[in-house]
Amino acid sequence: MKMKGAQIFFECLKREGVEVIFGFPGGSVLDIYHEMPKHDIRHILVRHEQGAAHMADGYARATGRVGVCLVTSGPGATNTVTGIATANMDSIPIVVFTGQVPTAMIGDDAFQEVDIIGITRPCTKHSYLVKDVNELARVIKEAFYLARTGRPGPIVVDLPKDVIQAQTEFRYPKKVDLPGYHPTLEAHGGQIKRAYQLIKKSRHPVIYAGGGVIHGDASEELLQFAEMIRAPVTSTLMGLGCFPAEIRDKKGKRSPHPLWLGMLGMHGTYEANMAVSNADLLLAVGARFDDRVTGKISGFAPKAKYIHIDVDPTSIGKTVEVHIPIVGDCKNALQKLIQTAEAEPVEGLEEARAPWLEQIGLWREAHPLRYAFDPQIIKPQYVVEKIHELSGGDAIITTEVGQNQMWAAQFYRFTRPRTFLSSGGLGTMGYGLPAAIGAQTAFPDRLVVDIAGDGSIQMNIQELMTAVCNCLPVKVAILRNQFLGMVRQWQELFYEKNYCGTCLADSSPDFVRLAEAYGAVGLRATKPEEVEPVIREAFAIKRPVLMDFLVSPAEGVYPMVPAGKSISEMLLT
């Protein structure tokens, strides 16, 4: 039977198990919207296409499945670029369908024409311009396959209007045929053996885990292997949740996991940065030695031999020289390490590791993450701690970018993968609210909280309307310090306290009334004693709630490694 391109589009999505599309219509995609009501796929109408891309991203991070967004040509397409670049930097599987002018008009500077494939080429894993309806099904199949396999990433599929109007026989290919795409998933046995020999000999090992552990669904293996070799674990921002910061006893009482060091890097914990700086072995799993993690390269884990597991060969040896590279899927590599360790356990492990863990304990005691509680003014860290406490540590947390993001990373103790959604690589302000909406769409009954700043929340505040209209009860906690706080902190420390362009005092809307204008609930806390009641109330309301916490403007994020310094050179206050 012949079908129109628009119908083929939905048939393909159905076969890929797509349950929701985040989108915004326009001239070039009207045929798809015309077809949409006939299909059992939910459509979330966004208020700005950047929001659609971030929602697809948030959905993907929370579920591990491919997120989908659909926008029209021209500005609809260009508005997704920040979302695509965000997903690309953090290896998030999304497929972005963009409308395009009819093929005969491409290149004519037609109304709402833009070369979105050209614009997004540097920030996608791959992209397609579909010029023939006979290619449509194959391209969609390949797009989803590429998005979710190997190192995941965003795929753009550009759909000219005449292609989705044209008709052809629908056949969904069973397999993809991509002769240039064969990601190495199976870790090399010989390299695993060599790696394990180094691990066995090591006295001061540290596991440095990244987002790849989450993408590769390897958290359980990471925990098992870390406990087997009794190696402390630190993670990148992207890795938070891949290792439990806390464990619960049978009565549900929570205590810190003894091997957890916290996040490392620029705003990492003292013990994580000191442990890495003194390690004799660094086992990097699904991490990419990003500059915010390493600080000055020559000062990063200078005494350690490096083992690096990553599914993407370009990540290995890119910024640091690695002694044992292991290309492969994190789960596969860790499973093999576990098997090797089972066959060949380290003798006297407890005693061998005791001095190292003791030393780490001393670092932790000397400089734990802390802040000075003030009964007069709300400290932002206190708000994050209370959100953690009152959510039972089980919420999905999204963040914007800046101080709010770092305090969330430091003071919310993540225990499960896919519960911390944050723009790490690109550092996209305006990410948190749409990402929270995407996550809430996937998990309508879970608590989803966007920890935001008064600067970043306004970058996509319009999506509050999307949350309200679609009954997605996301919670937003604005840590309102009346500054673009992280930039202000850099100005304070490195730019002579010249607070140019960063002050937001008296120049933000009344967030409570704004929330109400959108049909959400607005709550405010201006004193420490109001924090807990506000959070409790917000969590009890089954609607979107925006919480406005007036917090101390002067608070900084510490520890901090100044840019260009070694991570052992931390500013502690």
Partner 1 sequence: MENSSKHRHTIGILVQNVPGVLARIVTLFAGRDFNIENITAAETHEPGLTRITLVTTGDDHILSQIVKQLNKLINVIKVFDFRDTEFVDREMALIKVRAEAPTRAEVLRIVDIFRAKVVDVSPHFYTLEVTGNESKIAAIIELLDQIGIVEIARTGKAALARSKKH
Which residue type, as a one-letter code, is found at position 432?
Answer: G
Nearer to partner 1, 312 or 532 (CB): 312
**Footprint on this chain of partner 1 (rule: CB under 8 A):** 117-118, 121-122, 125-126, 129, 131, 146, 178-181, 312-314, 317-318, 321
- Residue pair 324/197 in contact (Cβ under 8 Å)? The answer is no
Report the nearest approach of partner 1 to the CB of residue 209 (Å).
Answer: 22
- Residue pair 483/506 in contact (Cβ under 8 Å)? The answer is no
Active site residue 49: yes
Q: Where are the alpha helices (DSSP H) in 321-451?
A: 330-343, 349-366, 380-390, 403-411, 432-442
- Residue pair 438/57 in contact (Cβ under 8 Å)? The answer is yes
Residue 536: burial class (beta carbons within 10 Å; 0-12, 13-18, 19+) = exposed
Instruction: Please tell me whether residue 554 adopts helix, strand or coil conformation.
Output: coil
DSSP string, 190-226: HHHHHHHHHHHH-SSEEEEE-HHHHHTT-HHHHHHHH
Per annotation, catalytic residue among 35, 49, 113, 555: 49
- Residue pair 183/260 in contact (Cβ under 8 Å)? The answer is no
Instruction: Please tell me whether residue 326 adopts helix, strand or coil conformation.
Output: strand
Distance (Å) of CA 225 to CA 106, 286, 345: 54, 15, 11
Residue with tokens 């994050």: 384
238 vs 122: CA distance, rounded Å: 21
Report the nearest approach of partner 1 to the CB of residue 290 (Å).
Answer: 16
564 vs 493: CA distance, rounded Å: 14
Per annotation, catalytic residue among 89, 486, 547, 560: 486
Q: Residue 459 phi/psi, 5° resolution?
A: -75, -25
Residue 103 CA, chain-centre distance (Å), reads: 36
Nearer to partner 1, 131 or 543 (CB): 131
Report the nearest approach of partner 1 to the CB of residue 488 (Å).
Answer: 31
Report the nearest approach of partner 1 to the CB of residue 247 (Å).
Answer: 38
Contacts for 180 with CB less than 8 Å, ≥ 6 apart: none
Report the nearest approach of partner 1 to the CB of residue 177 (Å).
Answer: 11
Report the nearest approach of partner 1 to the CB of residue 95 (Å).
Answer: 14
Contacts for 517 with CB less than 8 Å, ≥ 6 apart: none
Nearer to partner 1, 125 or 388 (CB): 125
Report the nearest approach of partner 1 to the CB of residue 312 (Å).
Answer: 7
- Residue pair 270/539 in contact (Cβ under 8 Å)? The answer is no
Report the nearest approach of partner 1 to the CB of residue 259 (Å).
Answer: 33
Nearer to partner 1, 75 or 118 (CB): 118
Per annotation, catalytic residue among 112, 165, 359, 462: 112
Nearer to partner 1, 299 or 317 (CB): 317
> Is the dihedral angle over the CA atoms 250, 345, 351, 198 positive or is it negative?
negative
Contacts for 572 with CB less than 8 Å, ≥ 6 apart: 270, 367, 558, 559
Nearer to partner 1, 153 or 393 (CB): 153
Report the nearest approach of partner 1 to the CB of residue 127 (Å).
Answer: 8
- Residue pair 172/137 in contact (Cβ under 8 Å)? The answer is yes
Report the nearest approach of partner 1 to the CB of residue 181 (Å).
Answer: 5
Nearer to partner 1, 81 or 369 (CB): 81
96 vs 23: CA distance, rounded Å: 10
How do 2-4 and 167-169 pair as beta strands?
A: antiparallel
Q: Residue 396 phi/psi, 5° resolution?
A: -90, 120
Active site residue 486: yes
Contacts for 26 with CB less than 8 Å, ≥ 6 apart: 71, 72, 73, 74, 76, 99, 112
Active site residue 161: yes
Per annotation, catalytic residue among 2, 38, 111, 494: 111
Active site residue 175: no
Per annotation, catalytic residue among 4, 125, 141, 161: 161
Nearer to partner 1, 31 or 310 (CB): 310
466 vs 476: CA distance, rounded Å: 14
Report the nearest approach of partner 1 to the CB of residue 142 (Å).
Answer: 9
Distance (Å) of CA 516 to CA 47, 441, 523: 17, 22, 10
Nearer to partner 1, 153 or 244 (CB): 153
**Structure token digits, residue 258:** 């003894």
The catalytic site residues sit at 49, 111-112, 161, 486
